[in-house]
């Protein structure tokens, strides 16, 4: 199967490409891709994979601010990784992640994402590691612990510094799922 991979900023995607992308994400997430999830996917760099049938896969990296070890860092946050059902298990997800990791390595302190159980296998195989400490967000009313997200936040490459069970990451706030 031949795939053509393209990297483009949200601003460079045509309206028809955005419609096709939203349809792919809705289908890939079995209708569980909200308007907030869509908003989180926009505003950064997209990796789009096409085949003879059209859009076959996607992933995006957007900038987020995360405080770790007392420092606010620019982090490349991965969003909207999806592969069309009929081309899964063909290595396309790995190719998309490889392109996203190249962007992260060149532009950010490290990468972060929130993994589903199914997605975690792909990320772990690529060297992403679950953050072992606490997860917080700086919300409108102050710092909020996101205990339900602990164990599902993955970082790449594993950052140096404190990272044990007592360590914490503090993410910037956003509507919908904060992670």
Sign of CA pseudo-dihedral 145, 25, 27, 112: negative
Q: What is the pLDDT at residue 163?
A: 62
User: Mind giving me the DSSP string for 70-126?
Assistant: TEEEEEEEEEEEEE-GGGTTSSHHHHHHHHHHHHHHHH-SEEEEE--HHHHHHHHHT
The percent of residues above 90 in pLDDT, for the chain, comes to 91
pLDDT band at 33 (very low <50, low <70, confident <90, very high): very high
Q: Which of 161, 158, 179 is nearest to 170 (CA)?
A: 179
pLDDT the model gives residue 165: 61
Cβ-proximal residues to 30 (8 Å cutoff; 6+ apart), any chain: none
pLDDT (0 to 100) of residue 162:
56
Q: 20 CB contacts (<8 Å, ≥6 apart)?
A: 54, 55
Architecture of domain 4-172: 3-Layer(aba) Sandwich (3.40)
Check whether 143 has a pLDDT greater than 90. yes
Looking at residue 35, its pLDDT comes to: 97
Q: Find tokens 């060297």 and name the residue.
A: 127
Q: Which of the residue ranges 53-57, 150-154, 160-164 would you say has the lowest mean pLDDT?
A: 160-164
Cβ-based burial of 130 (10 A; exposed 0-12, middle 13-18, buried ≥19): middle
Residues 103-119: what's their mean pLDDT?
A: 94
Given a cut of 60, whether residue 26 has pLDDT beyond it is yes
Residue 160 has a pLDDT of: 63
pLDDT tens string 80-104: 999 999 999 999 999 999 999 999 9
What pairing do the DSSP bridges indicate for beta strands 168-172 and 134-139? Answer: parallel
Angstrom distance (rounded) from CA 133 to CA 33: 27
Give residue-wise pLDDT tens across range 47-71.
999 999 999 999 999 999 999 989 9
Nearest to 96 by CA among 35, 52, 45: 45
Q: How far apart are CA 131 and CA 114, in angstroms?
A: 10
CA distances from 109 to 32, 70, 157 (A): 30, 14, 9
């Amino acid at each position: 199967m031949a795939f053509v991979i393209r990297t483009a900023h949200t601003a460079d995607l045509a309206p028809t490409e955005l419609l096709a992308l939203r349809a792919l994400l809705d289908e890939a997430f079995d209708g569980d891709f909200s308007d907030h999830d869509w908003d989180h996917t926009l505003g950064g760099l997209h990796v789009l994979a096409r085949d003879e049938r059209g859009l076959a896969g996607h992933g995006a990296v957007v900038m987020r601010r995360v405080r770790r070890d007392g420092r606010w860092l620019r982090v490349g946050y991965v969003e909207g990784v999806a592969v069309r059902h009929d081309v899964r298990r063909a290595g396309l997800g790995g190719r998309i992640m490889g392109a996203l990791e190249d962007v992260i390595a060149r532009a950010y302190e490290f990468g972060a994402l929130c993994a589903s159980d199914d997605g975690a296998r792909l990320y772990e195989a690529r060297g992403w590691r679950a953050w072992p400490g606490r997860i917080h967000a700086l919300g409108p009313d102050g710092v909020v612990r996101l205990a339900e997200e602990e164990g599902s936040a993955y970082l790449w490459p594993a950052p140096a510094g404190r990272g044990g069970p007592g360590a914490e990451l503090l993410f910037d706030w956003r509507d919908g799922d904060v992670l």
